Structure formats: structure tokens, C-alpha cells
């Protein structure tokens, strides 16, 4: 087991900078996720940890050992590839035993360890199958077993679930988590799927344009995004450009072109992210925080609009409200039965609770 | 990694570059230099002679080569495309069987094929004489020879290129494309011209160029059938046997320029347009023929085609059973026995050429096997400067007509050189295995490339990640993975080397004369049965290899071209 320490890592391919000055410390036994859209540098970073790329600048350390230019075969990491990369000419047993054979483990021990790990991934009875005879989910588990059996210091997972269908994905998510907890291996997981990231990770690093935007627990990332990219990429949100206006005891007041009145936000660390003077600001409010009011009430942050669309999705109902100047806001509520759905065209009031708003700077390019 | 990886790439490249430079580039350059020499001094005299009025025969030969090649393309297409369309788009009794028969010409090595055609349709051939007897004519109604003979043989041996490319293109067309056109209101004819045909064009152009190049290089057919008719590949041989090496070099250069120009054009064309289907999972798409008249006329067409296609094979088999002296002046052979095959295994004089061919082909095949693996791996899986150049260098022996490859080797190794370890190779045993090796490099590299390109980089990375060093990964993961492609390519190279005629006729010595040369000797002595028996050995070998490749490596015969 290892910690992973990346210090000011930069990777350039020709003129293209894939990863820029990345600093990360991944703790021992942690389930750490790299999350971001495609082309954001998350896979490049993973491959630098595996040793398939060497960083242009910066250092990769496992524990305190400098691994920056150690070849991949000497790193003792276990990687699961997006396409599984199973050896097609070998059986399940031979695939899983490959790493042990390279390590010159004796035959008897190899056999027992392979059987052991295959039982753990629930493929015990498939041990002598050809890998091409397995289903996608089973191949996935062989790949996982092959990576786990060598008892790697670090487990690397490169979008391992992206080729599976939705139901299997759920199942494998739990399976991976169970195995990770059981082995207690430091795990780095690359994905572009925010649900995977939020449900599985101890901590998440959000990437965009080769830069790490934010590192934090799933709850921190969701509730306290540091900029509009993170807020919009993880979960659904409503974003509006705003400008600071004034301070009143414990409350900050903002103006927005989209709203006809001032917006009041609690002046706490939870609600207002740190930003530099002169930065463009955005306010983010999650749809589930928007309160639709039955009767017109007075108070801060109460606005009027017309229902423009009602979307029923099963567990929840989305209501889109258009304000007079054309700006739209989305409110989400749990399904409470057909009688509670609003009609399109109805005039309504809604409130943006001032302790639920998050004021954040716009992410730079 | 940078250093270790780069070092490994360089170590891989050193032998590849040495072999390619030594046995492909250097001989070609020697030929080029030779073509500019007259009596040991630099001059443009040879080219002057070629294009000048002094030797009109050269220009005539060039023109004949081009025009025979164009006609070969036309006739091959005329047979191949409709046949492919009918066999792939309509379902009728025996369709599968007929479509398997349609590619039978590829099991006939060129020299053997030409020989079979001579026995069948030549002056003394079986078919014209049978017709003569049948209708009590005073003379044979027709016989092949000269242009018509060459064209007939070309059409027969080369239409499979069109048949195969059209078939595979047709099977790759997503049926929903045509259905979409019907749905939008197109008629059958306009669907064919506006949708199907445009999708076939890349394959058809590739096939046309291939046939053109192969006919430009064709040697056996003109050699046996041309009579007084001149073509360029044959002129090279004549110049060489007349001892005029300068002129042979000049003719080689001109023939190479035409061939390479076509190769480059083909590469350019193939990269120009991307007609890959966007959709996956294409189902069979055949309409059943319900009209009984149409159905049975298709079946009879299949049967006629089958008879015409298999006649050469049957003739060969029958002739191989005719013992010496049993068919001289008579219209038909007089006796049949296994005498020829018995002699083959008992008379060492007769067995020797077979043994020579097998040994030399095996040496070449072994070389190509190893070289093909390394080269293909470097080309597909490594990045380095000059990769494109190396790729072209590998493909040169494929673009060059066999006669030119032979000439190149003569001009390079008729004097000691560093690449022949200071020895003269011409006139020794080793020149022929070397020629076969050079000839079949592209074949093996291409078939290996095809498999390697299928192998995702992550497979190697996975092995590395699990702790395997490069060589272990290569041995345990890469090699087993690509083995089917390499083996099928090498086996095909082996059987082709066994039957190779054009380079053999330029380079053989009495000690290592191969089968093809001995076939010519037997023909000259009118011992047709023995010649046919040699031919049968080659046909049998090819059939076995194609079967093994298909059965055990899953390689379809159409991918081997």
C-alpha cells in the first residue's frame, strides 16, 4: 500500500499541454477519483502514475520514493483498462496468473491465489474458460482479478465501467467498492460519470482543460464548488451572472440582470466561495433548493414567473419557470402525486433560500 | 522510459534497415546506375536507344505491355464484378458452392495455369481438337496464342481480384443504406447507380490498379504464349540472355517507374476517401430468386462457370496421369497411369527440382517469417522518424515486377559487395532463396500488419503493468497474438516461392534448378505428363496451405491477396 504524491506535474505532447502544474496527494487506502469531461487530462495523469507516460516536468512519488522515471513494469501498480485489455489467447486462469508468473511465484501458490481472487470476484467456476466466452461484466471482473492478484501498491481504474450497460454498471460499482474495502488498496479511479464519482469516492479531483479545479469529498464538491465549472459539471444547477452590491450584517447583497430585485446571500464560507477582486461572479442554486410558493409571500429573494414546462421523471418532477425578462430557472421536487403538478402557464412565485445559494467565480479558460 | 524505449526501437530498426537497404534499395540503385552506363562510362545512350528509332521494338513492347494490361483490367472486371454481384446478392440453389468455386483460379500458380491453358486451348489443345473431330472440320476452329492467349489467361487468373474486392465491398454495405434509398422513392436501377456503385468504387479502383500492375509484371503468360509478340517484362529477359545488361537495366527502370507510379497512385487514392460504414453489425442481404426461369438460368450460369473455371485443374490432373510417350502426335492421350508420380519419388533426377524448390522456399520462408515479425512490429507499434520511408521501402518488392527484382539482384550481386559478405552471389545456390525472400517480404509484412493493427496498445501495456519486461511481453503476449497472421502469410509465401518462375528463370543454376524451370524443360522435351505432375504438386501444396490458413488461423482466402 502506498500514498501517491504528484508535485507540479506538467505533461506536454508537442505544443499541447495535457496536464498543467498538477499537485495532488493521495492518502493510503483512499478511494480517489479523477473526474472530468473527455480530454481534460485525467487519463493522462493516470498513465503517468502507471508509468506509460513520463511527466515533462514535476515528480511522481509513491510513499517517499521517487518513481518519476521508473518503467511501468517496476511500479507494482495494478491497472484495469477501459477495454479490459485481457489477453485474448489465454484462458481466465492464464490471464489472472500472468502477473504472478512474471513474479516467479511458485506453481502451487499461484494456483491458490488465482482461485482465491477469482472466488472473490465470483468467477470461480469460469477459471478454465477462454476470455472471449465471457460476457462484458465477467471480462471486467477478470480484469479486476488480474490487477488485484499481484497485490499492487496502487490500483488504477481507467473508466472501467464505461463499456457496461446501466444495470451491470450499478452492480459492478458495488463490487469494486467491496473489493477495494476488503483489500484496503489505495485506488485511483478515472471517470467522466459524476454519479460514479459521487457514490464511490472518498475524495474527488475535478479536472478541466488539464488543470485540477477542486479536490474534496463528494459532499464538498457538490455543496461547495469552487467555480461555475465544478458546480455545473457535478449535479444539476441554475447559474446566473451576478455583481456584488453591498454588505448588510451577515448578509451579502448582489445584483443580477436576470432578476428584477436584489439577491441576498448569507455571508458564510458555505455560501460564498473565495474569489479575487474584480473576478466575474456567478451564483449557483441547485434545482432541489428552489422553493415554489403557493401564495405570494414577502421576504428576501422572492421572485415571480410563469411555469413554462413541467417534466415528470418518475421519482421527481422538474418545473421550469420563466421570469418576465426571459431568464429561466429550474426547480426540482420529489413526486407527491399528480395533484401537486403545476400547469404550464400558471403564474407562480418562488424563493431562493439565502442559505442555499452559492456564489462562485467564473472558471478561467 | 524515453531512453530505454528509444534504444529498443533503434535496436529493432538496425537489422530491418540493414536488410532493406542491402537487399532492396541497394540492388535497385545498382540497376539505376547500370542503366546510365554504356561500356563503363556514364551516358544517356541506353535511354536514347530505348526511346529512339534505333530499337523500335522496346517502345513497342512498352506500349504492348500497357495496352495488354488495360485490356486485362477491362476483361477481369467484366467477369469479376457481375459474378460477385450475382453470387452475393441473389440466393439460388448451389450459391454457396459456386461462390467457393469462383476463387479456384488462385490455387493455380501462374506458370502451371498457363501450361494448362496451352493444353486446353492451344494449337494442339484438347478443346479445339475435340471441336474439330466433333464437327469434322479440316482445321482446328480456334486456338489461343499471342495477344488473345495472354488476355485469356490474364482474365482467368486475375478476375478473382475483382471478384473478391467486389464481394467483400458488397457484404460490407449496410443494407439499410439501400433500404433508405428505396424508402426515399428511388427505383432499383437508380439505387444501384446512386448508392451501391459509388460505395463499390474504392474497391474497384484498387482492384483495377492491382490487376494493371500484375499484368504489367506478368511473365509466364507472355513467355509461353506470346510467340513473336513483345512485352516489356519479356524484353528484359531477352536482353539479359543476350548479355546486354545495360539495356536490361534500362528496361527494368522504365518498367519499375510505371509500376511504382501506380503503387503511389493507389496509396494516394486509398487514403483520399473514407467510405467506412458508420454502422456496425451488418446482416446478410440476399434476395431469393423466385422466378423459376431466372433461378434456373442462374444455376446453369453457375454450372457453366464452374466447368470453365475447373477445366484447367482437371486438365492438369488428367495430364499428370499420362506417362511419357503416350501423347505425342495423337489428338488425345493414349494411356493413363501413375508413372509420373512414381518417377517423381523414385528417380532422383526428377525429384531433385522438387527438393530444391522445397529447400529454397523453406529458407526464404524462414527468413521472411522472422523479418516480417520484426518489421511489422516496428511499423505498427513503434514511432520513429522516417517510418513512412521504411513503409515504402518494404512495399517496393511488391510494386516491382518479379523480372525487375531478379535483374536488380543480378546487377547487385554479380560482383562482391558488403551485403553478400564479399562474395559473388550470382551463380551460387544462395541467390534464389534471397530472391524469394525479397519477393515475399511485403506479403508477410502485410498479413502481420493486419493482425497487429487489431491489437490494442493496452494489451501490451497491461502486460507491462503486471510487471512483464518488454521481451517477456513480446514473447508471451504479442507473438502468440499475431502468430496466425504471420504463419498464414509465411505459408503463402512458401507455396508461392515453390512455384516462382520469373526470378527463377533469371537466376537459377544447374545445381539449384527449381520446379518451374524443370517444368519448362519437360515441356521442351514434350514430356507433358511429367510437367503436369510437377504442376499438381504445386497445386496440392497451395490447396493445403489455403485450407490450413482458413481452418486453423481463420484467415479467409480473399485476405491473402
* Nearest-by-Cβ selection for B463 from A71, A74, A98: A98
Q: Can you tell me the ipTM of this complex?
A: 0.80
Number of domains in chain A: 2
| Final residue in a domain of this structure, among A228, A245, A273 | A228
| Final residue in a domain of this structure, among A197, A228, A259 | A228
Q: At what angle do helices B232-241 and B402-413 cross, to 10 degrees?
A: 30
Residues A154 and A253 grouped into a single domain: no
Give me the total of CB pairs closer than 8 Å, taking one residue from chain A and one from chain B: 71
**Does residue B277 surpass a pLDDT of 60?**
no
Please give the C-alpha separations between residue B14 and each of B369, B473, B510, B558, in angstroms, as whole numbers: 17, 21, 36, 33
CA neighbor of B248 nearest in space, from B469, B102, B35: B35
Confirm whether B361 is domain-assigned. Answer: yes
Residues A354 and A280 grouped into a single domain: yes
DSSP state of A159: S
Q: Which of residues 63 through 102 in chain A touch B, CB cutoff 8 A?
A: 69, 71-79, 81-83, 85-89, 98-99, 102
Residues B303 and B443 grouped into a single domain: no
| Final residue in a domain of this structure, among A209, A228, A247 | A228
Higher-pLDDT residue of B450 and B2 is B450
Under 8 Å CB-to-CB from B73, ≥6 apart: which residues?
B208, B211, B212, B215
Q: Specify burial of residue B495 (Cβ count, 10 A radius: 0-12, 13-18, 19+).
A: buried
Confirm whether B26 is domain-assigned. Answer: no
Report the alpha-carbon distance of residue A321 to residue A331 in Å, rounded. Answer: 8
Residues A127 and A219 grouped into a single domain: yes
Residues B111 and B78 grouped into a single domain: yes
Region of residue A122 (phi > 0: left; psi between -120 and 50: alpha; otherwise: beta): left
DSSP state of B55: T
Structural domain span for residue B548: 342-561
Residues A221 and A237 grouped into a single domain: no
Q: What is the pLDDT, as a whole number, of residue A31?
A: 94
Q: Among residues of chain B, what percentage have pLDDT more than 70?
A: 91
Residues A163 and A63 grouped into a single domain: yes
CATH number at residue A185: 3.40.50.300
Residues A254 and A344 grouped into a single domain: yes
**Average pLDDT of chain B?**
81
Residues B431 and B348 grouped into a single domain: yes
CATH number at residue B191: 1.10.3720.10
Residues A211 and A102 grouped into a single domain: yes
Q: How far apart are the first and last CA of chain A?
A: 36
Scanning every residue of chain B, which has its alpha carbon at the shortest distance from the alpha carbon of A100? Answer: B466
- Mean pLDDT, residues B399-405: 87
Residues B346 and B447 grouped into a single domain: yes
Residues A37 and A171 grouped into a single domain: yes
Determine contact, residues A54/A68, Cβ cutoff 8 Å. Answer: yes
Query: Any bridge partners for residue A304, and if so which?
Result: A349
* Nearest-by-Cβ selection for A98 from B461, B466, B480: B466
Residues B431 and B310 grouped into a single domain: no
Under 8 Å CB-to-CB from A37, ≥6 apart: which residues?
A192, A208, A233
Q: Cβ–Cβ of A73/B481 closer than 8 Å? A: no
Query: Any bridge partners for residue A281, and if so which?
Result: A242, A361
Which residue's entry shows cell 523479418?
B371
Q: What is the pLDDT, as a whole number, of residue B1?
A: 46
CA A259 to mean position of chain CA atoms: 32
CA neighbor of B206 nearest in space, from B162, B252, B151, B253: B162
- A174-178, A220-224, B174-178, B472-476 — which is least confidently predicted? B174-178
Chain B residues close to A91, C-beta within 8 Å: none
- Mean pLDDT, residues B333-362: 79
Angle at B94 between CA B91 and CA B100, to 5 degrees: 100
Under 8 Å CB-to-CB from A352, ≥6 apart: which residues?
A263, A285, A289, A290, A291, A301, A303
Residues A290 and A182 grouped into a single domain: no
Report the alpha-carbon distance of residue A53 to residue A47 in Å, rounded. Answer: 6
CB atoms within 10 A of CB B349: 8
Residues A215 and A255 grouped into a single domain: no
Number of domains in chain B: 2
> Which helix (H) or strand (E) segment is A155 a member of?
strand A154-158
Structural domain span for residue A298: 229-361
Residues B204 and B88 grouped into a single domain: yes
Q: Cβ–Cβ of B465/A73 closer than 8 Å? A: yes
Determine contact, residues A158/A189, Cβ cutoff 8 Å. Answer: no
Interface residue A341 vs chain B (CB under 8 A): no
Highest mean pLDDT among A271-275, B67-71, B315-319: B67-71
Residues A172 and A251 grouped into a single domain: no
Among A77, A85, A147, most B C-beta atoms within 10 A, so best to mutate, is A85
SS3 A269: coil
- Mean pLDDT, residues A162-190: 86
Report the alpha-carbon distance of residue B301 to residue B528 in Å, rounded. Answer: 32
Interface residue A122 vs chain B (CB under 8 A): no
Residues A302 and A213 grouped into a single domain: no
Confirm whether B42 is domain-assigned. Answer: no
Q: What is the pLDDT, as a whole number, of residue B331?
A: 64
Scanning every residue of chain B, which has its alpha carbon at the shortest distance from the alpha carbon of A87? Answer: B459
Amino acid at each position: 500500500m502506498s500514498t501517491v504524491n504528484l508535485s507540479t506535474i506538467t505533461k506536454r505532447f508537442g505544443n499541447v499541454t495535457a496536464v498543467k502544474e498538477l499537485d495532488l496527494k493521495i492518502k493510503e487506502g483512499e478511494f480517489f477519483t479523477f473526474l472530468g469531461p473527455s480530454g481534460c487530462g485525467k487519463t493522462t495523469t493516470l498513465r503517468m502514475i502507471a508509468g506509460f507516460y513520463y511527466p515533462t516536468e514535476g515528480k511522481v512519488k509513491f510513499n517517499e520514493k521517487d518513481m518519476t522515471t521508473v518503467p511501468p513494469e517496476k511500479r507494482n501498480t495494478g491497472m484495469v483498462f477501459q477495454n479490459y485489455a485481457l489477453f485474448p489467447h489465454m484462458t481466465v486462469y492464464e490471464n489472472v496468473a500472468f502477473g504472478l508468473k512474471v513474479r516467479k511465484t511458485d506453481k502451487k501458490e499461484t494456483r491458490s491465489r488465482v482461485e482465491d481472487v477469482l472466488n472473490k470476484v465470483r468467477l470461480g467456476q469460469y477459471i478454465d474458460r477462454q476470455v472471449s466466452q465471457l460476457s462484458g461484466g465477467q471480462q471486467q471482473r477478470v480484469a479486476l482479478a488480474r490487477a488485484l492478484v499481484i497485490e499492487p501498491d496502487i490500483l488504477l481504474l481507467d473508466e472501467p465501467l464505461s463499456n457496461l450497460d446501466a444495470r451491470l454498471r450499478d452492480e459492478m460499482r458495488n463490487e469494486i467498492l467491496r473489493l477495494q474495502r476488503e483489500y484496503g488498496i489505495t485506488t485511483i479511479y478515472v471517470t467522466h460519470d459524476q454519479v460514479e464519482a459521487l457514490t464511490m469516492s472518498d475524495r474527488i479531483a475535478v479536472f478541466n482543460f488539464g488543470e485540477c479545479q477542486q479536490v474534496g469529498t463528494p459532499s464538498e464538491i457538490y455543496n461547495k464548488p469552487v467555480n461555475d465549472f465544478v458546480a455545473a459539471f457535478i449535479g444539476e444547477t441554475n447559474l446566473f451572472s451576478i455583481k456584488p452590491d453591498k454588505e448588510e450584517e451577515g448578509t451579502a447583497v448582489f445584483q443580477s440582470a436576470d432578476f428584477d430585485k436584489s439577491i441576498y446571500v448569507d455571508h458564510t464560507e458555505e455560501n460564498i466561495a473565495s474569489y479575487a477582486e474584480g473576478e466575474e461572479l456567478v451564483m449557483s442554486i441547485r434545482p432541489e433548493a428552489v422553493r415554489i410558493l403557493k401564495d405570494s409571500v414577502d421576504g428576501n429573494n422572492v421572485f415571480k414567473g410563469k411555469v413554462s414546462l413541467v417534466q415528470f421523471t418518475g421519482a421527481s418532477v422538474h418545473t421550469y419557470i420563466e421570469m418576465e425578462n426571459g431568464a429561466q430557472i429550474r426547480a426540482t421536487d420529489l413526486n407527491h402525486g399528480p395533484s401537486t403538478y403545476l400547469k404550464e402557464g400558471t403564474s407562480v412565485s418562488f424563493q431562493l433560500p439565502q442559505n442555499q445559494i452559492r456564489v462562485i467565480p467564473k472558471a478561467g479558460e | 522510459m524515453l531512453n530505454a524505449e528509444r534504444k529498443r526501437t533503434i535496436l529493432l530498426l538496425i537489422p530491418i534497415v540493414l536488410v532493406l537497404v542491402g537487399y532492396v534499395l541497394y540492388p535497385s540503385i545498382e540497376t539505376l546506375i547500370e542503366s546510365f552506363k554504356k561500356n563503363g562510362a556514364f551516358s544517356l545512350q541506353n535511354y536514347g536507344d530505348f526511346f529512339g528509332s534505333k530499337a523500335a521494338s522496346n517502345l513497342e513492347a512498352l506500349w504492348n505491355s500497357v495496352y495488354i494490361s488495360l485490356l486485362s483490367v477491362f476483361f477481369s472486371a467484366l467477369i469479376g464484378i457481375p459474378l460477385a454481384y450475382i453470387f452475393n446478392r441473389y440466393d439460388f440453389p448451389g450459391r454457396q458452392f459456386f461462390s467457393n468455386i469462383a476463387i479456384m483460379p488462385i490455387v493455380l500458380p501462374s506458370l502451371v495455369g498457363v501450361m494448362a491453358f496451352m493444353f486446353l486451348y492451344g494449337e494442339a489443345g484438347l478443346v479445339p481438337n475435340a471441336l474439330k473431330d466433333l464437327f469434322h472440320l479440316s482445321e482446328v476452329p480456334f486456338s489461343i496464342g499471342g495477344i488473345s492467349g495472354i488476355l485469356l489467361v490474364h482474365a482467368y487468373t486475375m478476375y478473382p481480384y475483382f471478384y473478391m474486392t467486389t464481394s467483400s465491398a458488397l457484404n460490407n454495405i449496410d443494407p439499410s443504406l439501400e433500404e433508405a434509398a428505396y424508402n426515399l422513392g428511388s427505383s432499383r436501377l437508380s439505387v444501384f447507380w446512386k448508392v451501391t456503385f459509388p460505395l463499390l468504387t474504392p474497391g474497384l479502383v484498387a482492384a483495377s490498379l492491382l490487376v494493371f500492375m500484375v499484368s504489367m509484371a506478368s511473365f509466364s503468360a507472355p513467355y509461353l504464349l506470346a510467340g513473336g509478340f513483345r512485352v516489356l517484362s519479356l524484353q528484359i529477359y531477352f536482353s539479359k540472355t543476350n548479355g546486354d545488361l545495360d539495356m536490361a537495366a534500362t528496361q527494368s527502370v522504365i518498367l519499375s517507374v510505371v509500376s511504382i507510379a501506380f503503387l503511389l497512385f493507389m496509396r494516394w487514392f486509398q487514403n483520399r476517401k473514407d467510405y467506412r460504414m458508420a454502422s456496425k453489425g451488418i446482416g446478410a442481404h440476399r434476395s431469393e430468386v423466385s422466378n423459376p426461369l431466372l433461378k434456373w438460368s442462374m444455376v446453369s450460369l453457375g454450372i457453366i462457370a464452374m466447368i470453365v473455371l475447373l477445366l484447367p485443374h482437371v486438365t492438369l490432373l488428367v495430364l499428370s496421369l499420362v506417362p511419357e510417350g503416350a501423347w505425342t502426335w495423337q489428338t488425345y492421350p493414349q494411356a493413363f497411369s501413375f508413372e509420373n508420380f512414381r518417377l517423381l519419388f523414385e528417380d532422383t533426377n526428377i525429384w531433385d527440382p522438387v527438393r530444391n524448390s522445397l529447400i529454397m522456399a523453406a529458407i526464404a520462408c524462414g527468413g521472411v517469417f522472422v523479418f516480417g515479425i520484426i518489421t511489422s512490429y516496428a511499423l505498427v507499434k513503434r514511432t520513429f522518424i522516417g517510418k513512412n520511408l521504411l513503409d515504402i521501402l518494404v512495399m517496393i518488392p511488391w510494386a516491382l515486377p518479379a523480372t525487375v527484382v531478379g535483374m536488380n539482384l543480378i546487377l547487385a550481386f554479380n560482383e562482391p559487395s558488403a551485403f553478400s559478405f564479399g562474395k559473388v552471389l550470382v551463380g551460387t545456390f544462395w541467390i534464389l532463396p534471397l530472391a524469394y525472400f525479397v519477393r515475399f517480404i511485403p506479403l508477410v509484412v502485410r498479413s502481420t500488419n493486419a493482425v497487429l493493427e487489431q491489437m490494442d496498445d493496452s494489451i501490451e501495456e497491461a502486460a507491462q503493468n503486471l510487471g512483464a519486461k518488454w521481451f517477456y511481453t513480446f514473447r508471451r503476449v504479442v507473438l502468440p497474438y499475431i502468430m496466425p497472421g504471420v504463419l498464414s502469410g509465411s505459408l503463402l509465401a512458401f507455396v508461392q516461392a515453390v512455384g516462382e518462375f520469373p526470378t527463377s528463370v533469371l537466376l537459377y543454376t544447374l545445381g539449384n534448378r527449381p520446379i518451374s524451370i524443370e517444368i519448362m524443360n519437360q515441356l521442351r522435351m514434350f514430356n507433358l505428363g511429367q510437367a503436369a505432375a510437377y504442376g499438381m504438386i504445386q497445386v496440392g501444396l497451395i490447396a493445403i496451405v489455403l485450407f490450413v490458413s482458413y481452418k486453423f488461423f481463420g484467415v479467409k482466402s480473399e485476405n491473402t491477396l
